[in-house]
Amino acid sequence: MKIAIIGAGSVGTALGKAWSRAGHDIVFGVRDPTSSNARSAAESAGAKARSTTVAEAGALGEVVVLATPWEATESAIGAAGSLAGKIVIDCTNPLAYRDGELGLAVGFDGSGGERVAAWAPKAHVFKALNQVGYLAMEDAKFPDGFPAMFVAGDDAERKPAVLHLMTEIGFEAVDAGPLKVSRLLEPYAMLWIHLAYNQGLGRDFAFSLLRR
Ligand SMILES: NC(=O)c1ccc[n+]([C@@H]2O[C@H](COP(=O)([O-])OP(=O)(O)OC[C@H]3O[C@@H](n4cnc5c(N)ncnc54)[C@H](OP(=O)(O)O)[C@@H]3O)[C@@H](O)[C@H]2O)c1
């Protein structure tokens, strides 16, 4: 599958490596394809990977993955052109500082995932990969089992393909329901961030699901 990753930072690079190991073709959509970040992300995502403009990547990708800072996400979607009919995986978290504390810019009666769907009309938007750190995206093998990856999205026909993309890179993919469940998955990411940075867990952990 041709996967366009918009943003070649920590998350974009990690996902490019992981999906290229799973056999997918990766193209990064970046503001400056000649930058050292853009070049090293492409180098690390296999021989066929390359970095290009956001517009070209948006046009090429069968799946378009958003790995941009929240504040850049609307303009990145605009630069990607029409994403109508494509699967869009939104990894972003709508982070913002309020009174010096990191929190969510959107919540309770809305979510970043739903905003993304409004900015990309007719795309099939899924929220996923926002709930763990990039280290787990690059390598999801943990000694105690598989990390869970909740996927929220409205398109039942395409959801199995998105769940499969999670499974391929080592997650236990869990259908979390419709896109508006992003309202739960984004605060859930805040819990991960809080544990990592305030509670001393560090960045190399993920949540898993136990059943009886
Ligand atoms: N870091 C994590 O562990 C983690 C985990 C889960 C979710 N997330 C979420 O994932 C998103 C990306 O996080 P990150 O840590 O990968 O951030 P990052 O390392 O800062 O990378 C962000 C990338 O987005 C690019 N970018 C910025 N503005 C852009 C625009 N207008 N158009 C296209 N590309 C643009 C930047 O490229 P330039 O070189 O052009 O600036 C950079 O390559 C965020 O929303 C974050 O909340 C992060």
Question: What pLDDT is recorded for position 155?
Answer: 98
- Structural domain tally of the chain? 1
| Pairing mode of beta strands 95-98, 101-104 | antiparallel
Question: What pLDDT is recorded for position 93?
Answer: 98
Ligand 1 centroid to 67 CA: how many Å? 5
Mean pLDDT of successive 10-residue segments in the chain (212 residues)?
98 98 98 97 97 98 98 98 98 96 95 98 98 98 96 98 98 98 98 98 97 95
- Residue 10, Cβ density class (10 Å: 0-12 exposed, 13-18 middle, ≥19 buried): middle
Question: What pLDDT is recorded for position 210?
Answer: 95
- Residue with CA at minimum distance from ligand 1 atom 42: 9
Question: Is the CA virtual torsion 9, 154, 49, 44 positive or negative?
Answer: positive
Whether 205 is in a domain gets the answer: no
Q: By residue range, what is the domain housing residue 114?
A: 2-197
Question: What pLDDT is recorded for position 153?
Answer: 98
Whether 202 is in a domain gets the answer: no
Question: What pLDDT is recorded for position 127?
Answer: 98
- Residue with CA at minimum distance from ligand 1 atom 45: 92
Whether 209 is in a domain gets the answer: no
Which CATH number goes with the domain that contains 57? 3.40.50.720
Ligand 1 binding pocket (C-beta < 6 A) is: 6-12, 30-32, 35, 37, 54, 67-70, 72, 75-76, 79, 91-93, 95, 130, 133-134
Question: What pLDDT is recorded for position 160?
Answer: 98
